[in-house]
Structure 1
């Protein structure tokens, strides 16, 4: 059973007003869910308590947006609940029937069902969305994703020098590699791209089924961090 916990992270507790408003929307749409917020310092505490074998590696993660990638897998495995990026808002309450699954993952890019949606020049294959994820505590997918993310980052000598490095090391391409082979498992729910992935700016309008709106505030900042990994610019 997926617990009613909402997990969010930002580099510091000093949240921009926009993200404070986003959290208010989450609280309004999910009034009986516990809201849990983590700064970078609190992420370190989470790893120390639940994944001490990785604690020494956290300072080697090259930029903040990637730390958020590692965090989402860790907190979902350790605590369960719903993780969502700070630059998301719910369009409707989270469906109760989802909570019966061990894990809930949506597609971000699914041209087989949405052929008119934006085409990504760097990737032709379908891939999963990781800005919103749900899990029961101890779901194997997120333990596997966390371990593989650290392996991939170590193989890169803890450097991510391209957009692909970021996406493939701990981002949506990594999640796709881990989770998609299990798409037939009955205890896992895989959602079509219009549940989480709709984006008006990329010719993929919302549908009646859409649950999450992603504001994509972190997109440009994330790309800058790839090139200027020595700067902590926060993340969305």
Structure 2
């Protein structure tokens, strides 16, 4: 006969059994789902998913590290033509405007860019911080950082910096001794679709004379004191790769010094290599094909004497007046010309003070 004591013991045992069964079922359920699910992401906990994603990213980076330089640059800085031009203005100098050492003659020039572009982020990157920015942006492409650090002259680093910052971030680069005459929103005709333009360059020199080579490095020379670009543009990728390769070549050969380089500054990092990169792009069959299927041979003759913008693919070339007004040669207009956008004072900030040309010295 079931006594009261036995009934209590039986009830306690039953309750304990039910609790244990419930606990066992709840803890085993995720294991059952994991074993029957075909989707690893739903089966894994958030930490496991994060670990798996990190492993995949690491594997991708390791495979990219073995690719040629241009492929690595393409991966790290993809180009999106339809994106907007980034609202950045980049300049570089020995000091920032906050420093008391920033030259007083430069202040109105630097301020003109902020005044003309109130909604833009305007950065003057000091020489001693530029390397840290480059190391951060190009952490995945260490040969670029090595090349930058190896350059033996400040002017070479200043040249290289403009291409590096535009490739990684996009926006406008302009030399510290330039004056913004009109905002960038006025540089292109209003009717021109900005989603079809990825690079804006201006003509520096158009010496239509037989002895042009005695004065300039190229028959048509594009200026690189002012450039507007979208992040990752192929021309920037090419010029960064070219300068990196040439720098490391000369370093390996033991001729990368102030006095032993086998290239001039203009050819190494200046307007010559920049002009070549633009024309190489125009004549690259991977980007441009004519109706016959072969690339058109784009030459200096396609740009000589132009008095308005000319669009080739996703590149707009501005006439000489736009970035070189007031030079009073080669057909350039004055600074009050409707197409005058940027005035370059040609201070020669990278030269010794005794060799600078305009407006006295810069401290």
Q: What TM-score results when the alignment is normalised by the length of structure 1?
A: 0.82
2:280 is matched with which residue?
A: 181
1:148 counterpart = 2:231: no
**Given the superposition, is the C-alpha separation of residues 62 and 224 from structure 1 closer, same or farther in structure 2, using an over 3 Å criterion?**
farther
| Separation in 1, partners of 2:170, 2:222 | 19
TM-aligned CA deviation for residue 69 of structure 1: 0.6
1:69-218 superposed matches below 5 A:
69-95=159-185, 98=188, 100=195, 101-112=197-208, 121-123=215-217, 125-156=219-250, 157-159=255-257, 161=259, 165-183=264-282, 185-200=312-327, 204-206=332-334, 207-218=337-348
- Say how many residue pairs are matched: 223
1:7 is matched with which residue?
A: 90
More off after superposition, 164-173 vs 153-162: 153-162
**Given the superposition, is the C-alpha separation of residues 191 and 174 from structure 1 closer, same or farther in structure 2, using an over 3 Å criterion?**
same
More off after superposition, 56-65 vs 207-216: 56-65
1:19-98 superposed matches below 5 A:
19-52=106-139, 53=142, 54-95=144-185, 98=188
Gaps of 5+ in 2: 1-83, 189-193, 283-287, 289-311, 356-361
| Separation in 2, partners of 1:51, 1:169 | 21
1:229 is matched with which residue?
A: none
Q: What TM-score results when the alignment is normalised by the length of structure 2?
A: 0.55
| Separation in 2, partners of 1:124, 1:137 | 27
Find the structure with the greater CA-based Rg. Answer: 2
Gaps of 5+ in 1: 226-234
| Separation in 2, partners of 1:199, 1:58 | 34
**Given the superposition, is the C-alpha separation of residues 211 and 154 from structure 1 closer, same or farther in structure 2, using an over 3 Å criterion?**
same
**Given the superposition, is the C-alpha separation of residues 104 and 208 from structure 1 closer, same or farther in structure 2, using an over 3 Å criterion?**
same
| Separation in 2, partners of 1:75, 1:55 | 12
8 Å contact kept, 1:11–1:64: no
SS in 2 for 1:221: coil
8 Å contact kept, 2:88–2:172: yes
8 Å contact kept, 2:217–2:272: no
1:109-164 Cα shifts (integer Å, max 9, x gaps): 1235xx7xx98624352111100001111112112111101222344432355896
More strand as a share of residues: 1
| Separation in 2, partners of 1:68, 1:221 | 12
RMSD: 3.0
**Given the superposition, is the C-alpha separation of residues 163 and 130 from structure 1 closer, same or farther in structure 2, using an over 3 Å criterion?**
farther
TM-aligned CA deviation for residue 103 of structure 1: 0.9
